[in-house]
Amino acid sequence: MLLAMLIIHSTVFIATADAQKGKRHRKKHRTHKVYRHKLINEPTVIAGGVQKGTASYYAKSWTGRKTANGDRLHHDSLTCAHRTHKFGTLLKVKHVGNGKEVIVRVNDRGPYGRGRIVDLSWGAAKALGMISQGVAKVEVEVFDPKRASKSVLPVDSVGP
């Protein structure tokens, strides 16, 4: 079990009136708060650069919203959000429960939920068979198109 300590420093400025001089001045006070968080389902990296954790997906209602790299999200596109990989990186996502795989392109940042390693578009989630579940255990690894056969690549995930 892994515990993480998060220390938040906040600065509070209190304006007080000086009754004798009629001036206002600020006193700087620091407050320190310590929070303990239990990390549950923390993503792990296993041998070969494969990341294992939980995936979720964007609802269809998010279609048309801008992603972090400026693209518009479309529910049928095979795209995803990842915290660390560069925009445009191709990732192979494998559903651990049923063995289905899909190749997606990183075009957004996130997910910000604990234990989540990737947010998939609705189309990618449908290809993995996780629509009814909402979340699924997955393995994510960087996909190199030079090493794979052409029959594996989806048509809309590779740029010109």
The DSSP-derived string for 95-148 is ETTT--EEEEEEEE----STTEEEEE-HHHHHHHT-TTTS-EEEEEEE--TTTS
Residues 117 and 135: their CA atoms lie apart, in Å, by 11
Query: How does the average pLDDT of the chain come out, rounded?
Result: 75
Q: What is the mean pLDDT of residues 131-138?
A: 94
Model confidence at 72: pLDDT above 50: yes
Residues 44 and 24: their CA atoms lie apart, in Å, by 53
Question: Residue 83: which H helix or E strand, with range?
Answer: none
Q: What is the mean pLDDT of residues 25-52?
A: 54
Please tell me the pTM assigned to this model. 0.65
The answer to whether the Cα torsion of 81, 117, 113, 95 is positive or negative is positive
Q: What is the mean pLDDT of residues 47-57?
A: 86
The DSSP-derived string for 27-41 is EEEEEEEEEEEE--S
pLDDT band at 145 (very low <50, low <70, confident <90, very high): confident
Q: Are 137 and 66 in contact (CB under 8 A)?
A: no
Which stretch of 23-37, 49-63, 86-100 has the lowest confidence by average pLDDT? 23-37
